[in-house]
Amino acid sequence: MTSYQRTALITGATGAIGKAIALEIARLPEYRLVLLCRDRHRAAAAASEISSSSGNEFVSYELVDLSSKTSIRALAHRLKDPVHVLVNNAAATSRRRRETSDGIELQFASNVLGYFWMISAFTNQLRAAAPSRVVNVASYWAGDLDLDDLEFRRRLTNLPRERTIQTVFERMEEVLESLAD
């Protein structure tokens, strides 16, 4: 017998922002929360911390590699319950260009395709819980998106750390200036 009425899934809950979001959802007593993580130890630690901090005993985790469509499909095959909230939050922020085992640039696979794969794989579960909600967390890091270079073949990713930090600050300044306009 369960005492929750709604199910939320969240990716990247072992990270900074994801854990904060997960904690707020877990504080809502009507929710069961499933953390979707790739590392069993970090997942178990996060689930335990979020459960004890929120008092919600229905916090669990499932393992998935969000840069892999195959792994996401297998996850959706295991989790058949209606899903009321899906938070796509996980992200890879590699400073060097890397590819997944499927040959897709890692950040594009994890931060872009992975979000679409999740929505696609869980469409039936989201429909079953309608009105349901999908929240996609993004970053200003994608701000100067080049549609002709989605897999970062030309983008300068192999920069030294100082240059990367400088680039991030320049982008943050641009965002703040655009907000002030």
- Work out whether 125 is an interface residue with ligand NAP (CB under 6 A): no
Among 22, 66, 76, 126, the residue binding ligand NAP under the rule CB under 6 A is 66
- Work out whether 139 is an interface residue with ligand NAP (CB under 6 A): yes
Q: How far is the CB of 87 from ligand NAP (least distance, A)?
A: 10
Identity at 30, one-letter amino acid code: E
Q: Which tokens hold the place of 68?
A: 């892999």
- Work out whether 39 is an interface residue with ligand NAP (CB under 6 A): yes
- Taking CB under 6 A as the binding criterion, the range among 76-84, 89-97, 124-132, 154-162 that sits at the site for ligand NAP is 89-97
Between CA 83 and CA 163 the distance in angstroms is 42
- Work out whether 34 is an interface residue with ligand NAP (CB under 6 A): no
The dihedral through the CA atoms of 138, 71, 1, 124 has a sign that is: positive
- Sheet bearing 133-136, strands edge to edge: 59-63, 31-37, 6-11, 85-88, 133-136
- Taking CB under 6 A as the binding criterion, the range among 1-9, 23-31, 74-82, 87-95 that sits at the site for ligand NAP is 87-95
